[in-house]
Amino acid sequence: MFECDVLCIGAGGAGLVAAATAAGTGSRTIVISKMPYGCGNTRISGGLVLRPNISPKDSLDSLMRDIIVGGEFLSDQALVHEYCKRAGLAAELMERFGIIFSRNSSGQPAPLPTAMGGHSLPRTLTGYCEGIPIGTALRAAAAGAGVSVLDETLALSLLKRDGSVTGAVCLRWATGEIICISAKQTILATGGLCRLFYPHTSNSSSVTGDGFALALDAGAELVDMEQQQFIPFAITHPESSVGIVCGEPAIAGPYGRLLNARGEEIIKGIRTKTRAEISAAMALARQRGEATGHGGLLLDLSPNLRRPIGKKMFAFIKRTFPSMIDAVRHAYGEEAARGEIPWDVFPTAHYQLGGVRVDTRCRVRGVANLFAAGEVMGGLYGANRIGSTSLAELFIFGSLAGECAAKSAHETERPRIDLDHAREVQQRAGRWRDKKGSVRPVQLMRELGAAMWENVGPVRNASGLEAALKKIEEIRLRSEDVSVAARRDYNPEWLDALELEKMLVTAEAVTRSAFERTETRGGHVRTDFPRRDENRLKSVVVKKSEDSLSVEREDVKLEKYGLETKGGPNPIRERIQFIILGLLPRKTQEKILNARLNLGDSD
């Protein structure tokens, strides 16, 4: 038995920020991590972070408007307000943890020169590092704050007593030991679920949606689980590279085009569009039979190379997104990496938008002593997340959850553990080990991923969603016939079986929510309901009762910004600016571009 004031389940960005914040108040804090801590999706981030109010034209209202309009009005506007109110603290906190951002010649934070997709103003900082160093910095911050870490530990179930969460039962899969952790307050920071769509995902292998199943079992509600963000530009071949992100709207530069297999442009001004808008356009183009032989569309960056402004901008983009260019080079060759030939691309499952319902202090609604932060938390982004917001979110809500959980822990008595529940969880987990079935758990995981991508990916309809639900139930029945080795320590098949159990719950929640979303809103397309319908502007809420899931719709509260609100970049104004810039003398162009791109006098 372990005891602590604050237990944090998950050790990615949000989890480590929450843990370091809680421990910094003097609370005894334990973090559990399914993988070595500091991993998860934070390690695959591009290092871009929102930093508002760099421009004198920026404001809290402007940022709120962009997030809500970009999220197609499905966001919880109270959560968005809390996010925007605290957004300026994210970059400061990150630099305090050792993550340094680009500066101009006077030492001030220097954003990207143009607005990222969905933003009306430039407010995105670039780091001198990408995801792995960010994870390393967070590990150091947690260690410095005195956080206790249990690596390679999987949460099996949240413990409850009298309606309040009292900790968790966990498997230390390195040793095969099942343990109880007693906690006054618990924070879910387990990340997203996009591994459900494998191999069409950018996510790490551990991101299997555990937290959503844990929350449902504890009595929490999930909101808008059908909303995933499919980042639009990912590699389509060879097989070993499928799903790897090679860019988002900004990478197109001022003159990049998105073409179908016939060479026709499918959507104009891609650099200024949101990820959802482009993903939906690509899904529709493939549905019309316009995709390439590899199932993708063609991202043509070569027009940038024919104009001085575009050439300069593309050179800057290559320096800003080196890992993406390397992925293109590996898959498509050097000519593609130089932008000379088109890239074959299609959206990949990147980020879970829906999740656990929380209030503005990260408390899980309807469940005492439980908080949520990071990608497992729902309601903030609605149907789409505009660029560079997720890293900021980890620090904004991670620190808020840690602060509020620590404060609540100081006011909470040491909880009593329900030992009968703990023994039941232990027996249920143990039954998977040493099974002599006919199928390996990983095979069922692959079948689930294929069914989810085919039927609940960017293109959806009622018959496909029904097929997905049947497949989920079929896999659930077949999972009783899995083959799992007998060993206790480092038994990957045991871990796979336990993950699969929760993946099936989460996949069902996503699919039932998608069935209820009878419109096209966000990055997916309902081919049987191909338009956004403001009469169907509802949140879809999933609850668990006994052993079944129920789904219902609720009205979205348009508290500050209604459906008439406009936001995001102005592509016509941007195009005019580029035309005017192109008419200026070459030296003047160079001077303006160097200033905007924060370069020296020579390139």
Residue boundaries of the structural domains of the chain: 228-350
Active site residue 385: no
Residues linked to residue 60 through DSSP beta bridges, in sequence order: none
Report the pLDDT value the prediction gives residue 353, as an integer from 0 to 100.
Answer: 97
Catalytic one of 195, 271, 275, 385: 275
Residue closest to 114 by CA, chosen among 603, 601, 597, 600: 597
Is residue 3 within 8 A of residue 27, CB to CB? The reply is no
pTM: 0.93
Q: In terms of C-beta density within 10 A (0-12 exposed, 13-18 middle, 19 or more buried), how is residue 534 classed?
A: exposed
What pLDDT, on the 0 to 100 scale, is given for residue 186?
Answer: 98
Nearest partner of 513 among 458, 456, 447, judged by Cα: 456
- Give the per-residue pLDDT at 526: 92
pLDDT at 214: 98
CA distance 249 to 253: 8
What is d(CA 533, CA 379) in angstroms, rounded to the nearest whole number? 19
Low-confidence ranges of the chain (pLDDT < 50): 597-603
Give the whole-angstrom CA distance, residue 188 versus residue 371: 6
Helix, strand, or coil here: 228?
A: strand
Q: Which amino acid is at 26?
A: G
Q: What is the pLDDT of residue 517?
A: 97
The long-range contacts involving 361-364, CB below 8 angstroms and separated by at least 24 positions, are 361/400, 361/404, 362/187, 362/397, 362/400, 362/401, 362/404, 362/405, 363/404, 364/188, 364/215, 364/218, 364/220
Within a 10 A sphere around the Cβ of 555, how many other Cβ atoms?
8
Q: Tell whether omega for the bond before 322 is within 30 degrees of 0, i.e. cis.
A: no
Determine phi and psi for 552, rounding to 5 degrees: -145, 165
| Per-residue pLDDT, 8 | 98
CA distances from 29 to 32, 33, 214 (A): 10, 13, 20
Coil, strand or helix at 217: helix
According to CATH, what is the number of the domain 228-350?
3.90.700.10
